């Protein structure tokens, strides 16, 4: 197992992301009860981010959330693993969809917004006490507004108002049609 993990890390370090993903998945399949499960899935998410396939990024980030929650329930989650799961989810949210909600961005890719809503929702469900929960909630509301999901957006905007501000939000307003 240790040699397989070294191989996966070597592939990852060399930028051979597809073989790294396959090797980390093999590690998970061979040892699904490992204390390193979250770390391996975290590495899969990082490698997937490098491949630029947004659908795959969402799927792997969702798997990370599942692995994180299961590990937390089983008591197998080390405290040092928790921040990496939160940070990865935050990175997935911030790397492409959040910027899409900014008024100054010209591209209005609704497919990206549609995928991003799942990342934001799961992030906020899994990490409600993170220091950036306020900002992430605001951007989730903005994203729902862009998707013309008015009732859900209103509900999330209401949550933003009720939260204590702990972060900066750029002065953007939703684009009116």
pLDDT digits (tens, 9 = 90+) for 59-100: 887 788 778 777 777 665 544 344 455 665 565 565 544 444
Distance CA(34)–CA(5), nearest Å, equals 12
Work out the average pLDDT over 22-37.
91
Maximum average pLDDT range among 13-27, 45-59, 109-123: 13-27
pLDDT of residue 45: 85
- What is the pLDDT, as a whole number, of residue 86? 64
- Lowest mean pLDDT across 25-34, 83-92, 137-146, 168-177: 168-177
pLDDT given for residue 105 in this prediction: 44
Instruction: For residues 74 and 86, give the distance between their C-alpha atoms in angstroms, rounded to a whole number.
Output: 18
Give CA–CA dist 118/124, Å, rounded.
10
Q: What is the DSSP string of 135-173?
A: HHHHHHHHHHHHTT-HHHHHHHHHHHHHSPP-S------
The pLDDT value recorded for residue 92 is: 58
Position 27 pLDDT exceeds 80 = yes
> Per this entry, what is the length of the chain?
177
Report H helices in the chain: 2-13, 17-30, 37-51, 54-74, 82-95, 97-101, 110-126, 133-146, 150-162
């Amino acid at each position: 197992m240790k040699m397989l993990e070294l191989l996966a890390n070597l592939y990852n370090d060399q930028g051979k992301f597809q073989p790294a993903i396959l090797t980390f998945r093999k590690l998970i399949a061979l040892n699904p009860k490992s204390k390193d499960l979250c770390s391996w899935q975290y590495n899969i998410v990082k490698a997937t981010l490098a491949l630029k396939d947004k659908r795959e990024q969402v799927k792997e980030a969702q798997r990370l959330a599942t692995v994180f929650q299961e590990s937390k329930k089983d008591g197998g989650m080390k405290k040092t693993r928790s921040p990496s799961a939160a940070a990865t989810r935050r990175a997935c949210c911030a790397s492409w969809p959040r910027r899409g909600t900014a008024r100054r961005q010209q591209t209005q890719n609704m497919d990206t917004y549609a995928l991003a809503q799942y990342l934001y929702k799961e992030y906020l469900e899994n990490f409600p006490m993170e220091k950036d929960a306020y900002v992430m909630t605001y951007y989730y509301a903005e994203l729902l507004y862009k998707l013309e999901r008015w009732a859900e957006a209103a509900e999330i905007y209401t949550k933003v108002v009720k939260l204590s501000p702990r972060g900066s939000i750029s002065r953007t307003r939703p684009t009116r049609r």
